[in-house]
Chains A and B, each alone.
Chain A
Amino acid sequence: MRKPKALIFEMGRSGRCGYSLPENDVPEKPVDQLLPESMKRSEPLDLPELSEVEVIRHYTELSTRNFGVDTGFYPLGSCTMKYNPKVNEEVAVLPGFASLHPCQPEETVQGAMELYYNMEQCLNEITGMERFTMQPSAGAHGELTGLMLIQAYHRHRGDYQRNKVLVPITAHGTNPASVTMAGYEVIQVPSDERGNVDLEALKEVVDETTSALMLTNPSTLGLFEEEILDMAKVVHDAGGLLYYDGANMNAIMGYTRPGDMGFDVVHLNLHKTMSAPHGCGGPGSGPVGVKERLVPFLPVPLVEKENDRYYFNYDLPESIGKVQSFYGNFGVVVKAYNYVRMMGAKGLKQASADAVINSNYLATLLQKHYHIPYDRLRKHEFVVSAKPEAKKGAGAADIAKALLDRGFHPPTMYFPLIVDEALMTEPNETESKETLDAYAMAMEEIAKDIEEDAEKVASSPHYTVVGRLDEVRAAKNPVLRWEKE
């Protein structure tokens, strides 16, 4: 299985070329007239020289060394690795979408603006919000945008003392990082024994310096915050706002809405919940929705409709400004819009229902062999604790690597932080019962292997193109680029 792969810089030969361009057909000027010597590159650019076929073979081989949703089951917790419908890819590259310049006159992009407008209506309804901006390019970008809106809201009211944002200990790492990016101090809120945010602890830290509470509901434990209304009241009574991290929205579409739970600001991850692909880590799209009192602060421009014409509204004097150069990751929004239109209300609700069935079903199967803390209903994901296995010599990472050998992408490891040796598992609605059964079987085998020969599991993976990689070495002695010897 071990297969060495050359770097692109170790391939090709001087004089080869992979491109074909027309001749320059304007009268040429001497380069010196266009660019003085002092502004010119002095050393020739060192890039590989390859023919087209070599380029294709190189990247095709690389692709075979990668695992995607189309390759197999990918229960990466809080990432919602659902199937990415092929038709989405097709419509997104229509020249009428992909070949639009962001500065074209509005008359020439009415279809694109209509799409943005329609999508906004859909997202408003799905979340119970008043308006959405599509500008944020990812979930974390949405978080930052949302915090900026909350900040602008407080500042506009002359309320400058709110310098803290409350973040549960179970929150995604992006939450506290976004809080810092927005210039706030993070106040961590612990969880209670049921896995909920500890309401009493929350009451203790909420005060007149609280700007907002950021919350994922269901949480990263896959548990619905049962006391959400009390939490909302505590925060609102103190003058703070509620921020909804939509990473786990796939659990509740059509069942409940962040807006109805009391949230003032919401971000969605269109590359999770709305089926746009993750693209090896991006591009994503993290639209942000707000309740009415925060609308004036949304980034410019908003898409508005007047009679049958769409236009960009820049006339928002209280707007925070911009968070992306133009209007966000339009290409991703197209895919998500197509998905929402194909699913409809019933389809989205069924997607959430099936995601929750799959999660509870898989948890039930795994419970026979593994410890799953918090014995209650799950939503779309659940967290296995491999602490007992770790004591026997093979912990969460080892189980993950053993799953690689069995053809599965492992769950998210070592998160959330309050579960030791966590394996956060999210089987979404696009997986069949047979796939879940096969995964449960693989996990059972691994549990047995750990009983019999933990070292075998701890030395996994055995059948991948490279063996277990040395991350410590990469951290201690970083080699971050190829260099000519």
Chain B
Amino acid sequence: MGGKHYLPLSDEDRREMLSTIGVDSIEDLFSDIPKEVRLQRELDLPPALSEMEAINHLSALAAKNRNLGECTSFMGAGVYDHFIPSVIKHVTGRSEFYTSYTPYQAEISQGILQAIFEYQTMICQLTGMEVANASMYDGGTAVAEGAIMGCGATRRSKALVSQSVSPFYRAVLSNYFNSRGLELEEIPMKEGKTDFASLEEMVDETVASVILQTPNFFGLIEEMNGVADVVHKHKAVLIVSTDPLSLPLLQPPGDYGADIVVGEGQSLGVPPSFGGPLLGIMAARKKFMRQLPGRISGETVDKDGNRGYVMALQTREQHIRREKATSNICTNEALVALAAAVYMATMGPQGMREVAEQCMQKAAYAREKITALDGYELVYPGYNFKEFAVKVPGKPEELNNALLQKNILGGVDISPFYPELENTMLFATTEKRTCEEIDTLVRELEGWK
């Protein structure tokens, strides 16, 4: 039998315990299951593996993949190959953290409650918001929950989302809205950024929220000044999706009047993991705090006046409010939020800024070199953070296959999401990419076809 080493009961234990219970056999304990639905055979699963065999099997599966450590990656589109300091895995690997559950019992959960309280503060510092929650599943679900929150706060049922918001996020958003019977309209783009004139035209008193992303899906920094005025004029809320790693450099959304800030926090020390676990960021103005979904850690005192932390505002949540809760979220991404907090603590303001600057400088360098090549065109002008869209002289899939021969993971093919953009790829550069690696990419692109 597999997994014996996880099952402490011996046969003798079982016999003694069954006798204490007052039944003759294990089967007796299952006699309340109607005969008609009892499984009359053994489950048909692959044979059990010992620990050694399991490691071999999983290692063999892992070896069939080409991981980012084995090649040079220029893939982005929401998930990036950033450097992760060793400190992080040593903290998240503390079993007092990773083997615990949601901190329902505050007195023995002060560790994670304080860490989350600190994380919330860091997210507020980054975004210029007043409150943040303990995490959502990922950037896509954070956008969707932010939009639902916007509808709740305004009692309106329509959201406007820019086409420059990640198509991955819009897919999740439109699904959530469709299910709930909420209305979603897309704001068209102009030169790869939200068309401000259209936005102005579309927003009215039926609109709950306007959802923008900066840096947007094409890596472009959107012009945000003035947007909030238009949105607020109609008493709608401005929701901004952002990459937290851009914020040491960029104007924080709080400065230009955002009401709710969401985003993908994978940049903050989280491995790409084939797209999950990721980290949904959610922050807002204080006036929306009772509309926030999910867990929030709050400061309080114990009976002797000592500072301590508890899960705050639980009356918003499903375990108390049931169908009237602000969201159904229960399990979140707490351990990933802890990783992000450790990342921010380790990097500090200087390190965060340095990473952001290197990303930006390297993207500028790569963009200039690549778009100087014959047949490669910059799709949209503007200021890029760490990625940029390029029209390439052929099928992106074929180009990526050619690059793979040289151990390069090329760009993300974004043509499927924007039919008007034929043969267009998104190239991302993080602080990990060296000048030499970028030059090699440029050489390979030049030599292709």
In the complex, are the beta carbons of B301 and A377 less than 8 A apart? no
In the complex, are the beta carbons of B300 and A469 less than 8 A apart? yes
Cβ–Cβ < 8 Å partners of A412 in chain B: 104
Closest 8 A/B residue pairs (Cβ): A326-B275, A96-B62, A344-B48, A111-B64, A102-B275, A279-B335, A66-B111, A68-B99
Contact of B298 among A76, A94, A173, A479 (CB under 8 A): A479
In the complex, are the beta carbons of A360 and B345 less than 8 A apart? no
**Residue interface mask A368-387, B partner, CB < 8 A = 1:** 00000000110100000000
| Cα separation A349 to B322 with both chains bound (whole Å) | 33
Tell me if B93 counts as interface (CB < 8 A to partner A): yes
In the complex, are the beta carbons of A344 and B109 less than 8 A apart? no
Cβ–Cβ < 8 Å partners of A109 in chain B: 65-66, 274
| Cα separation A250 to B18 with both chains bound (whole Å) | 19
Shortest CB-to-CB span from B52 to chain A, Å, is 9
Contact of B249 among A41, A98, A112 (CB under 8 A): A41
In the complex, are the beta carbons of A28 and B361 less than 8 A apart? yes
Interface residues of A in 95-131 (CB under 8 A from B): 95-105, 107-112, 114-115, 118, 122, 125-126
- 6 inter-chain pairs at a CB distance below 8 angstroms, sorted by A residue, are A7-B114, A17-B350, A111-B60, A173-B317, A174-B319, A174-B330
Tell me if A60 counts as interface (CB < 8 A to partner B): yes
Tell me if B379 counts as interface (CB < 8 A to partner A): no
| Cα separation A343 to B57 with both chains bound (whole Å) | 14
- A26-B362, A356-B30, A479-B299 known; A63 and B91 CB under 8 Å? yes
Cβ–Cβ < 8 Å partners of A465 in chain B: 107, 110
In the complex, are the beta carbons of B26 and A357 less than 8 A apart? yes
Looking at the complex, which of A288-296, A441-449, A470-478 is the stretch in contact with chain B?
A470-478
Tell me if B77 counts as interface (CB < 8 A to partner A): yes
Tell me if B372 counts as interface (CB < 8 A to partner A): no
Shortest CB-to-CB span from A11 to chain B, Å, is 9
Contact of B105 among A39, A40, A400 (CB under 8 A): A400
| Cα separation A96 to B66 with both chains bound (whole Å) | 7
Cβ–Cβ < 8 Å partners of A239 in chain B: none
Tell me if A324 counts as interface (CB < 8 A to partner B): yes
In the complex, are the beta carbons of A47 and B348 less than 8 A apart? yes
Cβ–Cβ < 8 Å partners of A35 in chain B: 221, 249-250, 360, 383
**Residue interface mask A430-448, B partner, CB < 8 A = 1:** 1111000000000000000
Cβ–Cβ < 8 Å partners of A21 in chain B: 83, 351, 354-355, 358, 431
Shortest CB-to-CB span from B395 to chain A, Å, is 12
Cβ–Cβ < 8 Å partners of B98 in chain A: 68, 84, 89, 277-280
- A34-B361, A52-B346, A100-B273 known; A478 and B313 CB under 8 Å? yes
| Cα separation A68 to B250 with both chains bound (whole Å) | 39
Shortest CB-to-CB span from A214 to chain B, Å, is 12
Shortest CB-to-CB span from B227 to chain A, Å, is 13
| Cα separation A50 to B58 with both chains bound (whole Å) | 38
- A84-B99, A271-B331, A469-B107 known; A114 and B61 CB under 8 Å? yes
Shortest CB-to-CB span from A163 to chain B, Å, is 10
| Cα separation A340 to B300 with both chains bound (whole Å) | 42
In the complex, are the beta carbons of B77 and A103 less than 8 A apart? yes
**Residue interface mask A233-268, B partner, CB < 8 A = 1:** 000000000000000000011111100110000000
**Residue interface mask A21-44, B partner, CB < 8 A = 1:** 110111111010011101111101
| Cα separation A466 to B306 with both chains bound (whole Å) | 7
Tell me if A140 counts as interface (CB < 8 A to partner B): yes
In the complex, are the beta carbons of B272 and A474 less than 8 A apart? no
Contact of B36 among A83, A229, A279, A282 (CB under 8 A): A229
In the complex, are the beta carbons of B139 and A325 less than 8 A apart? yes
Contact of B109 among A58, A67, A284, A338 (CB under 8 A): A67
In the complex, are the beta carbons of B111 and A64 less than 8 A apart? yes
Cβ–Cβ < 8 Å partners of A255 in chain B: 30, 33, 38-39
Shortest CB-to-CB span from B429 to chain A, Å, is 9
Interface residues of B in 330-377 (CB under 8 A from A): 330-336, 338, 342, 344-355, 357-358, 360-362, 364-365
In the complex, are the beta carbons of B118 and A7 less than 8 A apart? yes
In the complex, are the beta carbons of A470 and B65 less than 8 A apart? no
Q: Which residue of B lies closest to A169 (CB)?
A: B322
Shortest CB-to-CB span from B156 to chain A, Å, is 15
Tell me if B9 counts as interface (CB < 8 A to partner A): yes
In the complex, are the beta carbons of A325 and B172 less than 8 A apart? yes
Tell me if B54 counts as interface (CB < 8 A to partner A): yes
In the complex, are the beta carbons of A322 and B409 less than 8 A apart? no
Cβ–Cβ < 8 Å partners of B431 in chain A: 21, 24
Q: Which of B114, B180, B275, B351 has the most CB of A within 10 A?
A: B275
| Cα separation A47 to B268 with both chains bound (whole Å) | 14
Shortest CB-to-CB span from B40 to chain A, Å, is 10
In the complex, are the beta carbons of B21 and A41 less than 8 A apart? no
Tell me if A313 counts as interface (CB < 8 A to partner B): no
In the complex, are the beta carbons of B303 and A468 less than 8 A apart? yes
In the complex, are the beta carbons of A101 and B91 less than 8 A apart? no
Contact of B351 among A18, A70, A433 (CB under 8 A): A18
In the complex, are the beta carbons of B3 and A347 less than 8 A apart? yes
Tell me if A2 counts as interface (CB < 8 A to partner B): yes
Contact of A467 among B85, B303, B362, B413 (CB under 8 A): B303
Shortest CB-to-CB span from A369 to chain B, Å, is 15
Tell me if A193 counts as interface (CB < 8 A to partner B): no
Looking at the complex, which of B129-137, B186-194, B229-237 is the stretch in contact with chain A?
B129-137
| Cα separation A283 to B355 with both chains bound (whole Å) | 26
Cβ–Cβ < 8 Å partners of B404 in chain A: 105, 107-108
Tell me if A328 counts as interface (CB < 8 A to partner B): yes
In the complex, are the beta carbons of A41 and B252 less than 8 A apart? yes
Tell me if A201 counts as interface (CB < 8 A to partner B): no
Contact of B63 among A66, A96, A271 (CB under 8 A): A96
Contact of A85 among B6, B94, B225, B275 (CB under 8 A): B6
Cβ–Cβ < 8 Å partners of B304 in chain A: 2, 467
In the complex, are the beta carbons of A282 and B62 less than 8 A apart? no
Shortest CB-to-CB span from B54 to chain A, Å, is 5
Contact of B175 among A41, A252, A321, A400 (CB under 8 A): A321
Tell me if A316 counts as interface (CB < 8 A to partner B): no
Q: Which residue of B lies closest to A230 (CB)?
A: B34
Contact of B328 among A144, A326, A365, A413 (CB under 8 A): A144
- A18-B87, A325-B275, A377-B32 known; A351 and B3 CB under 8 Å? yes
Cβ–Cβ < 8 Å partners of B400 in chain A: 105
Interface residues of B in 10-53 (CB under 8 A from A): 13-14, 16-18, 20-23, 26, 29-34, 36-39, 42-51
Cβ–Cβ < 8 Å partners of A459 in chain B: 303
Tell me if B393 counts as interface (CB < 8 A to partner A): no
Cβ–Cβ < 8 Å partners of A332 in chain B: 276-277
Cβ–Cβ < 8 Å partners of B13 in chain A: 432-433
Tell me if B248 counts as interface (CB < 8 A to partner A): yes
In the complex, are the beta carbons of B361 and A66 less than 8 A apart? no
In the complex, are the beta carbons of B328 and A343 less than 8 A apart? no
Shortest CB-to-CB span from A113 to chain B, Å, is 9
Tell me if B198 counts as interface (CB < 8 A to partner A): no
Cβ–Cβ < 8 Å partners of B321 in chain A: 173, 177
Shortest CB-to-CB span from B288 to chain A, Å, is 12
In the complex, are the beta carbons of B181 and A183 less than 8 A apart? yes
Cβ–Cβ < 8 Å partners of B300 in chain A: 469-471, 473-474, 479
- A41-B250, A100-B68, A433-B13 known; A67 and B43 CB under 8 Å? no
Cβ–Cβ < 8 Å partners of A326 in chain B: 79, 138, 168, 274-276, 278
In the complex, are the beta carbons of A280 and B37 less than 8 A apart? no
Q: Which residue of B lies closest to A36 (CB)?
A: B383
| Cα separation A469 to B58 with both chains bound (whole Å) | 44
Cβ–Cβ < 8 Å partners of A209 in chain B: none
In the complex, are the beta carbons of A40 and B330 less than 8 A apart? no
Tell me if B440 counts as interface (CB < 8 A to partner A): no
Q: Which residue of B lies closest to A328 (CB)?
A: B276
Contact of B58 among A25, A41, A83, A338 (CB under 8 A): A338
Besides A94-B62, A100-B65, A482-B117, 13 other A-B contacts (C-beta < 8 A): A59-B94, A69-B95, A81-B101, A97-B273, A111-B63, A271-B331, A282-B331, A283-B333, A283-B335, A357-B29, A475-B312, A480-B117, A481-B124
